[in-house]
Structure 1
Amino acid sequence: MNFIRQPLALLILGLGGAVSHAADPVPPAHAVDPVHPAIAATKAMDGKAIFQAVCAHCHGANGEGKIELKTPSIAGMPSWYVTTQFANFREGRRGQNAADPQPFMMAGIAKALQPEQVKAVITHVEKMPVVVPTGKDREMAGTDPKEGMQLFQERCMECHRYNASGEMAFGSPPLTGRQAWYLEEQLKRFKSGKRGAIKNDVNGAKMVQMTSLFIEDEQMLRNVVAYIMTLNPEPANEPSKQAVEGSPFKDDVRTVER
């Protein structure tokens, strides 16, 4: 693969994000109406209480996300990134298309919460233990992680760091801890302009440019996601796997701490 060297942020991911399927999952009733009682009745300023009353329905009690609703894992996301995504939803840079259900619902919820409640729930999310992807959240059949490593090192590493841990200076979130299917779908959305094309979404615009210029096809896209999956710790009770040849983690045995 030949790439023009240029530091561009890769995979500006986080809260919300719909998956376009022939049959989208039916959204839970509480999220359709931004003034649903679950939100209106949440007067508490405790982040954990707000999360369980409002966020857990879609993102899971532990912030692990739900494949059936196509909602991402958000546990452990840094506060600076979640703050930016809440602002994007509240200010119209994400979630404006009613035909795109998950971001649209997230925008309604973000606008319904009081600013103090948003701050409290963001603090709680950051403190939640990261959930390591397993099973269907991690599997990437028919991919070549080694090929994906080349693209990652050429295009993603400068902003997201060699271990995909993210970098606040670039507004680049951690990619580990996110589900493979979610990362794949967000790259597709950036490439198609369904995400990141709204005015004033600076980081989103970088992603639209990067995916348009440097991701040639779906196989390349899936390969890079497959490589990112290798940067996660191995799930508990599963044998450690040798990292991709040439990876910074080649000789590193990673396990999940419980």
Structure 2
Amino acid sequence: MNAARITFVAVSVLALTTLARAEGELPIPADEFVYCTVCHGVQLMGNPTIEAPRLSGMESWYVENQLRAFRKGWRGKHEMDLIGMEMQPMAAALSDEQVKEVSAFVSTTRSDAPPSTIDGDADKGRTHYSTCAACHGVRGEGNIALGSPALTGLNDWYLVTQLRNFRDGTRGSHAGDTYGMQMRASTRLLPDDEAIQDVVTYISTLQEQ
């Protein structure tokens, strides 16, 4: 974690503590979720400045799976995954019960849909997405039976980052991460960064439909 991030987290925690003292309580249970909201925001709308993605409304089962993946070291251990390395110790500090509670909190929190920031070719992206649809659904709605989360509502910049991470082996390389390994194999069908931006641009149109 670089100096800027350390400063941000420290100041944010101080601000939340001050708010709690002034108003008597935080808008969420401080002992459970305060560290999530420091980076991801009280409504979990995310913060692109520190590459913290929007989480609000994400399926509880997927959040739980990913928190466990961080705890087990399947995510956030690769030397190139700097953001994941910041998230990994946060997840590792959670008990099994807290993982369930945090996952439920995430799935029931609502915020505005994220703005589009990627300017790719949605028409070309539609062609690439035909492969993605087999697991994530035609409208990006996800499929719990396949361990595939919904893609709508996610930050487009975050999707680009994660697709690159899967492609480069930064994510999805651990033998225990079955779904991650499947996803890594799928990203090999995207030939270059342009294709990644195109498919993400198309995914962004799904949440507008």
Matched, 1:70 2:75: no
Partners of 1:71 and 1:25 in 2: how far apart?
16
| Equivalent in the alignment of 2:129 | 152
How many residues align? The count is: 193
Partners of 1:25 and 1:198 in 2: how far apart?
30
Amino acid of the residue matched to residue 100 of structure 1? Answer: D
Q: How far 1:114 sits from its partner (Å)?
A: 2.4
Partners of 2:193 and 2:135 in 1: how far apart?
22
Q: Which structure shows the bigger proportion of residues in helix conformation?
A: 2
Matched, 1:191 2:151: no
In the TM superposition, 1:20-39 aligns within 5 A as 26-28=4-6
Amino acid of the residue matched to residue 157 of structure 2? Answer: W
Once the two structures are superposed, residues 122-181 of structure 1 have per-residue CA deviations (whole angstroms, 9 ceiling, x without a partner) of: 1111101253111xxx1222x21011001112x111111111011101111111111111
Amino acid of the residue matched to residue 180 of structure 2? Answer: G
Pick 1 or 2: higher relative contact order, CA cutoff 8 A, min separation 6. 1
| Equivalent in the alignment of 2:13 | none
1:52/1:61 contact within 8 Å kept = no
Partners of 1:99 and 1:161 in 2: how far apart?
30
Q: How far 1:99 sits from its partner (Å)?
A: 5.9
Q: Give the alignment partner of residue 196 of structure 2, picking from 221, 244, 252.
A: 221
Q: Give the alignment partner of residue 37 of structure 2, picking from 49, 56, 78.
A: 56
Partners of 1:187 and 1:99 in 2: how far apart?
14
Partners of 1:31 and 1:88 in 2: how far apart?
23
| Equivalent in the alignment of 2:88 | 107
Q: How far 1:230 sits from its partner (Å)?
A: 0.4
Amino acid of the residue matched to residue 145 of structure 1? Answer: A
In the TM superposition, 1:194-205 aligns within 5 A as 194-205=170-181
SS in 1 for 2:48: coil
What are the ranges of 5 or more consecutive residues in structure 1 without an aligned counterpart?
A: 1-23, 33-37, 39-46, 234-253
Q: TM-score, normalised by structure 1?
A: 0.69
Q: How far 1:48 sits from its partner (Å)?
A: 3.5
1:27/1:101 contact within 8 Å kept = no
Q: How far 1:198 sits from its partner (Å)?
A: 1.0
Q: How far 1:54 sits from its partner (Å)?
A: 1.2
Q: Give the alignment partner of residue 140 of structure 1, picking from 118, 132, 135.
A: 118
| Equivalent in the alignment of 1:208 | 184
| Equivalent in the alignment of 1:161 | 137
Partners of 1:194 and 1:98 in 2: how far apart?
8
In the TM superposition, 1:226-237 aligns within 5 A as 226-233=201-208
Aligned CA-pair RMSD: 2.4
Q: How far 1:100 sits from its partner (Å)?
A: 3.4
SS in 1 for 2:49: coil
What are the ranges of 5 or more consecutive residues in structure 2 without an aligned counterpart?
A: 11-15, 17-26
Matched, 1:181 2:157: yes
Once the two structures are superposed, residues 158-212 of structure 1 have per-residue CA deviations (whole angstroms, 9 ceiling, x without a partner) of: 1111110111011111111111111011111111101100111111111211112
> Which of 115-124 and 144-153 deviates more?
115-124
